[in-house]
Structure formats: C-alpha cells, structure tokens
Amino acid sequence: MELTYRPRRLRRTPALRAMVREFQLDPTDFIYPLFVHEGASNEPIEAMPGCQRWSLEGLVEEVGRAWDLGIRCVVLFPKVADGLKTEDGAECFNEGGLIPRAIRRLKQEHPAMAIMTDVALDPYSCDGHDGIVNSEGVVLNDETVAQLCRQAVAQARAGADLIGPSDMMDGRVGAIREALDEEGFEHIGIISYTAKYASAYYGPFREALDSAPRPVGNKPIPKDKATYQMDPANGREALTEALLDEQEGADILMVKPGLAYLDIIHRLREESELPIAAYNVSGEYAMVKAAAQRGWIDERAVVLETLLCFKRAGADLILTYHACDAARWLSER
C-alpha cells in the first residue's frame, strides 16, 4: 500500500505512545469527597463499597493517607443527626457543628491540604431539599440564599479554602461572594456547581447522607429537585449558568454528574477560561464497583480510562471517590 501517513507509526512502542500522549492524569487533578459523621467509629456505606462515613479521628487518618498519595484537596459532606434537622436547616451555620469542627481539626493536623466544603441545606433539612420548602411545597430561592451565605461564612471562618455551593439557587454565587468579602474572606475561592443536573445518578450519595426528599406531616414535599437542578435534556442552559456564575465571581466551574455529561464539560471548556471541574458521582462509582465485584470489568483499567476521559473532555479537576485508588495505581505505572 502506498500510504503517505501511517498513524500506527506513533503507536508502535510504549515510549512513542508516551511521547505523543495528549492528556495525562496526576493525583493533583483529584478532589477526594469524604463523608463525616459524629460517631466514634467509621461506618461502611453499603451502596458505595470502599467508602465510609468517617469519624473525626478516621477522617484525619484518611486525609493523611490521601496526602501521602499526592492528593491535594478533599471535600467534606456531613451525615447530620435527625434531631438537628429543621425546615430552615439552621444547623448548617452552627460554628460548633460537625463540618466546622472537622475543618479546624484537619487544618490542625494537615495544614497544607486544601479543604473544599459543600454549601446546601439538604443534609440539614428535615425535608431533604437543598433549599427551604414552604407550606405550599415551593422551594424558596432568596430565603435559602440568605441561609447559604451564613453557612459559607461559618465554613470560611473555620478554615475552608474553597466554598462549593451545590444548591442551584439563582444568584447564590454572587451573594456568597459578597458575604465572604464583607467578613474579610476575599481570599477564599468559590467552586460553583454550575451545571448540576436533576440526575438519577445521585442515589448512593443520598443514602450515605440520608438526604433524599422526604414527606413531613401534611406539608407537600416535592419528590425530586427538578425545580432548581437542571433538566438533563438541556445543554445550552449550562452556558447560561456558566456565564452567570462567572459574572457573580465564581473561581472554578463544575459539571455534575460527569460521565453522562462529557458534552457539557466540553462546551464549558470552549466558552470559559476558568478552571473546569467534573464530579464523578456516586452512581457512576457504584456501577463500576458492582461490575468489578462480579468480575465483569477490570476495575483499575476502567477507572483510569474514565478519569482520563474527563480530562480529554476539558476538565482540569475531578471530584472522584476513586481518588486514592487511582493515585496509587498511577504511582505503580
């Protein structure tokens, strides 16, 4: 065959393939999500094999392990006791609460580790929604944003490095930026859940935190979060959300879920110069774990390929429960 160009020439050896490889994974790409609870011991999460609800002591140990593997950022999610959950989620800004105490402890033990927090009411709400639900079953926007601002300030005061509003209320990024600045936290960044979809992939996460919508008494509670999270059918809307978040002061934009929304990651990468994060969510994680446990897939190969595809789509950062395993596998290459 008379061929001018043969692409296989550069695939012939491992060395040649490495020379022309377009994207690389590194442990510093990962943000490691961690669940924390008030218990004295760690609790395995049945729907997420390998994940735990960490005690404060266990959390300190696990963050140390992550640091040793090269991971440089963790994000914290609280399992809040039912007795602390209220309609207005006021426990979220209790400076003696679980997350502020966890941040302070981690900063004492691992001061160089970057700590990201989650800003939303669902772990603290007896209704299981990211916002305040009124007596008519409507999730209130502006009243919720006021609570989120107080939550963000409490987290920053405890020592958080990045504030992550995941609630999808309109205007919350700008309001949180203003609240942080007014309290002297101009240096604290906002990693906004810019395009967070009303997805079916969140089930294991909600089990881990017991944060799914739930009826309370006679008050009507929306069964899903479709009035504030994005419709999975929409792509252009993500660009609108990204533009608004940039204008309001976001430092990093996030797409959640990640794997089923690679096109959205790519579209945001094309439109924005800000760093882009992808959330490799609990349902994606659980499916890989379930298939690997049955011997249907090679877990290591599938995980590393999945994480690489986020980078190829345009993500700079990846929130993933596979973080420690992936970091270890990368070191073994």
DSSP letter, residue 186:
T
Q: Which residue's structure tokens are 């089923």?
A: 260
Question: Which positions are catalytic?
Answer: 196, 256
Write the Ramachandran bin of 196: left for phi over 0, alpha for psi from -120 to 50, otherwise beta: beta
Name beta bridge partners: 196. 256
**253 is written with which tokens?**
């934009």
Torsion of CA 246, 251, 256, 261, to 10 degrees: 60
Taking the C-alpha atoms of residue 252 and residue 246, their distance in angstroms, rounded to an integer, is 9
For residue 144, the tally of other CB atoms under 10 A from its CB is 25
Unique residue bearing structure tokens 């101009």: 186
The reported pLDDT for the residue numbered 206 is: 84
Residues ≥6 apart with Cβ < 8 Å to 18: none
The pLDDT score that the predictor gives to residue 219 is 86
Q: Are 158 and 232 spatial neighbours (Cβ–Cβ below 8 Å)?
A: no
pLDDT value for 8: 92
Residue 237 neighbours by CB distance under 10 Å: 14
- Looking at residue 212, its pLDDT comes to 80
pLDDT at 302: 98
Of 38, 46, 51, nearest to 105 by C-alpha is 38
d(CA 244, CA 238): 10
The amino acid present at 188, given as its one-letter code, is I
In the three-class reduction of DSSP (H, G, I as helix; E, B as strand; rest coil), residue 330 is classed as: helix
**β-pair type (132-133, 139-140):** antiparallel
Return the pLDDT at 214: 80
Predicted confidence at residue 70, as pLDDT, reads 97
CA angle 171, 186, 89 (to 5 degrees): 50
Residues paired with 36 in a beta bridge: 54, 78
Nearest-10 crossing angle of helices 299-313, 323-332: 100
Query: Which tokens is 83 given?
Result: 């007795």
Which residues, listed in sequence order, are joined to residue 35 by a DSSP beta bridge?
53, 77
Global confidence as pTM: 0.95
Q: Looking at domain 24-253, which CATH architecture does it have? A: Alpha-Beta Barrel (3.20)
The two three-digit tokens of residue 106, written as one number: 């981690």
Helical spans, DSSP H, in the chain: 14-19, 56-68, 98-109, 142-158, 172-182, 203-209, 236-248, 262-271, 282-293, 299-313, 323-332
- Res 36: pLDDT: 97
For the chain, the structural domain boundaries read 24-253
pLDDT for position 322:
98
Instruction: Give the CB-side neighbour count of residue 76, counting CA atoms within 13 A.
Output: 35
For the chain, 333 residues long, give each residue's pLDDT as a single digit of tens. Answer: 889 999 999 999 999 999 999 999 999 999 999 999 999 999 999 999 999 999 999 999 999 999 999 999 999 999 999 999 999 999 999 999 999 999 999 999 999 999 999 999 999 998 889 999 998 999 999 999 999 999 999 999 999 999 999 999 999 999 999 999 999 999 999 999 999 999 999 989 888 877 788 877 788 888 999 999 999 999 999 999 999 999 999 999 999 999 999 999 999 999 999 999 999 999 999 999 999 999 999 999 999 999 999 999 999 999 999 999 999 999 997
Beta-carbon contacts of residue 169 (< 8 Å; ≥ 6 apart): 130, 131, 141, 144, 145, 148, 228
Rg over alpha carbons for the chain, rounded to the nearest Å, is: 20
